[in-house]
Structure 1
Amino acid sequence: MSTSLLYHGFGLIDQEYLKTEYKNGDVVFHIQTKNEKLQCSHCNSFNVIKKGVTERLFRTVPIGLKAVYLKAKIQRLECKDCGTIRQERIHYADEKKATPVD
């Protein structure tokens, strides 16, 4: 699979595909933001340093009868311009609907 399915199937831009996992009858696509697209969620600067990562699980539209999830690596970033340390902004998800991964 390529990033083409992420864009055309799910409308995701700036994301790269890592792998697909089939778990308990569900399909899980592992994704992360492309390194060159990482930017500060406060001032929108691209002058950032990675400071850790967490994973979030997002449910998306099913494929046939299979439930489909996006397991995203969310970067924690330090901005060299404004000095803020925050998680990257996730443009494809409402912040209040994300489920943390155990």
Structure 2
Amino acid sequence: YVHARYERGNTIFRVRQNNSSLRSSCCGSREVIKRGVIERTFRAVPVGSRSIFIQIAVHRVECLKCGCVRQVKIPFASPRRSYTKSFERYALELSRHMTIQDV
């Protein structure tokens, strides 16, 4: 956790990934070289009526063992998704009680 911002009824949490947790997405090796950063924003479960977003700088790393260059895995989100795993479960639970349009 770095800080929180409040904009237009939304809460945006800025988090930072620990450098010691950087691993290759291909083979899981810790022997990696940083090859850039990309900002990503994920939608999280709302708190009350406030929408929650998580911003994180996702590192691209090159693995020295397998040569793969990819973004590191984000533990709270599935690959190629713009929402957290908890938000996915929340939306699925709401869809059991409401129409998709209401969700």
TM-score normalised by structure 2 residue count? 0.73
Give the Cα separation in 1 of the matches to 2:23 and 2:81.
Answer: 22
Q: Which residue of 1 aligns with 2:58?
A: 74
TM-score normalised by structure 1 residue count? 0.74
SS at match of 1:45: coil
Measured after TM superposition, the shift of residue 22 of structure 1 is: 1.1
Q: Which residue of 2 aligns with 1:28?
A: 12
RMSD: 1.4
SS at match of 1:95: coil
Higher strand content, 1 or 2: 1
| Ranges in structure 2 where 5+ consecutive residues have no aligned partner | 84-103
Provide the aligned length of Structure 1 versus Structure 2. 83
Q: Which residue of 2 aligns with 1:59?
A: 43
Q: Which residue of 2 aligns with 1:42?
A: 26
Measured after TM superposition, the shift of residue 70 of structure 1 is: 0.5
Give the Cα separation in 2 of the matches to 1:50 and 1:61.
Answer: 31
Which structure has the greater CA radius of gyration? 2
| Ranges in structure 1 where 5+ consecutive residues have no aligned partner | 1-16
